[in-house]
């Protein structure tokens, strides 16, 4: 989001961002965060890798690896599909807007 301060995900204790590749972000619709959305992480071939449900604040988080990924979101009020590239271990942010 333009001008918004950089957000960082809440991570479990002991997660080493030197080695973990964390893909994270917020699912929103019309500017408001969407809780209980189903977010899928698909690998470079489009195959399912993991799925999480967004928190009360619309947050999601995956522990992946460097490379190309696709995020696919389902919710009763909309869906969205978006590519994301994680260049290296550390944090990669993706904002997803339901349509």
Partner 1 sequence: MARADVLVSADWAEENLNTPGVVFVEVDEDTSAYDGGHLAGAVKLDWKTDLQDQVRRDFVNKEQFEALLGAKGIGNDDTVVLYGGNNNWFASYAYWYFKLYGHENVKLLDGGRKKWELDGRELSKDTVQRPATSYAAKEQDLSIRAFRDEVLDSIGKQNLVDVRSPDEFSGKLLAPAHLPQEQSQRGGHIPSALNVPWSKAANEDGTFKSDEELRALYADQGLDEAKDTIAYCRIGERSSHTWFALHELLGHQNVKNYDGSWTEYGSLVGVPIEKGA
Residues near partner 1 (CB under 8 A): 12, 14-16, 19-20, 36, 38, 40-41, 43, 45, 47-53, 61-65, 72, 74-76
Cβ of residue 46: shortest distance to partner 1, in angstroms? 10
| Torsion sign, CA atoms 50, 34, 12, 1 | positive
Query: Of the two residues 89 and 97, which places its CB atom closer to partner 1 in the complex?
Result: 89
Query: Of the two residues 1 and 19, which places its CB atom closer to partner 1 in the complex?
Result: 19
Residue 50 has which token pair? 């993991």
Cβ of residue 89: shortest distance to partner 1, in angstroms? 10
**Rounded CA separation 64/48 (Å):** 12
Chain centroid, CA 86 distance in Å: 11
């Amino acid at each position: 989001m333009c001008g918004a301060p950089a957000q960082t995900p809440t991570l479990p204790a002991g997660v080493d961002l030197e080695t973990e590749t964390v893909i994270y972000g917020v699912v929103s619709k019309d500017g408001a965060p969407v809780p209980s959305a189903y977010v899928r992480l698909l690998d470079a071939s489009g195959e399912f890798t993991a799925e999480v449900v967004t928190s009360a604040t619309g947050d999601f988080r995956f522990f992946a690896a460097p490379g190309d990924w696709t995020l696919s979101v389902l919710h009763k009020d909309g869906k969205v599909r978006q590519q994301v590239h994680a260049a290296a271990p550390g944090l990669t942010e993706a904002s997803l807007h339901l349509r």
